[in-house]
Structure 1
Amino acid sequence: MRPALFLFALLMPLLLLAGCRQQGEWYIFEGVALGSGYHITLNGDLGPGESALVEAAIQGELASLDNDIQLLQHLLATGWPIVLGPPGAQVPDDLLQLYRARAVDHLARVLGEFGVEHALVELGGVQRTLGRAGRHPWRVRLPRTGLASAPDAALRLEGAALVTRSAARPADADGQEWERILAVSAVAQSAEAADHLARELLASPLETAMEQPARVVVLTPRGITLHIGAGLEPLLER
């Protein structure tokens, strides 16, 4: 056997084993922020004591955003500015959801500063993935729809975010329901971009969502129907 082929034959088992290995150790960070729980799973090679630094950076970033919400709540409680609502009003859910999307993107940036390339960040239903979960994309579950005939669905995401927005319930007109969008789950590269897309599709005709990476839940006179946009089809777990 020629020397080059002999050396290749010796190295091949090692190369195969290296390809099967995970990127590093698994780490999990959990807690509460912005009125909801957060869960971060990452896979990487953190040096001695670096795990504690990552956790401290995560908590510091979330504390800063929590302070923003508390300041806004204080302004609402004092009735200033009036355009935000009457004295004692709560922070609107729509704004809180936007802050959660922003927080998830901030956390993804923090992890990147520590060299983390593979992670799943979830806060209040907002989810964003970095890299892969081992040799496969991250498995992210879509929110349940309440339809008994519709099985739970999941997406395979790599470097993308999933955000779900629900429409405000309008007042019934003479007790009659009409066809309308109930919720939109949208995918984009960042959580804020996915949140923006979901809000946009909530106010758009259903046909607009059919070309997007989104799932739309629609209420019709015959019941609830699900619609999958063309951009979401390739991401669905089979």
Structure 2
Amino acid sequence: MKTEMYDELKYWYLRDHKLFRVLSFSQIKQLCIITGFKKASKGEILYFSASDVPRIFLLKKGNIKIVSVDEDGNETIKDIIQKGDLFGELDLAPDKGSNEYAKALTDEVSICSFLMSDFEDLLLRNPNLALSYTKFVGLKMKRVRNNYANLVSKDAKTRLSQFLKDWAEREGKKEGDSVTLDNYLTQADIAQIICTSRQTAVQLLNEMEQDGLLQYQRKEIFIPNIAAF
């Protein structure tokens, strides 16, 4: 009964995902056979790039962070993954030199996963899916490149402002000009995302609060006028 329930969950989620809309009913049923399903709690590690079994993951529920670790052990948040996002070996070519992991940021996280070899075979047999996947990953890589360009060319205050605007656009609850964000990031997380120290991030958030640009709380960030950023 439990297996049937998971199969049903996988089917409805995959059917509703924009990446797989090009597939027929029977093709999605076949996809369910090769799809793994996992739930995780806040703080749990979901993926290591050094895994011997390369996989592609699809986030069904919650939020996670992708953390990159350099040779000295320093960690940087590479990306924040939201519902519907893909992560893992997206270029279908395992990079043995990379060192990153995915960690759950919210209390309830659910992911689907595919062995990279199975997913490659699926793309070869479904040209329309291959085209859809290429576009999907292309847009994601463009966003990551834009984030990197912002880190290189802008100061910390501008990077923080841009990050908050992007976050508000993707996940904010809008009411007129105001936006409310469910805050699942720590101040240390925000500092890593904008590549600065926690002390600097806290100082910048305090300055924004004093200027009336936002109200920062541990579980919520309120932006009274997003156009003011």
TM range, smaller chain = under 0.3
Between 1 and 2, higher relative CO (CA 8 Å, sep ≥ 6) is seen in 2
TM-score by length of 2: 0.23
Larger radius of gyration: 1
Instruction: Looking at secondary structure, tell me which structure has more helix per residue.
Output: 2
TM-score by length of 1: 0.22
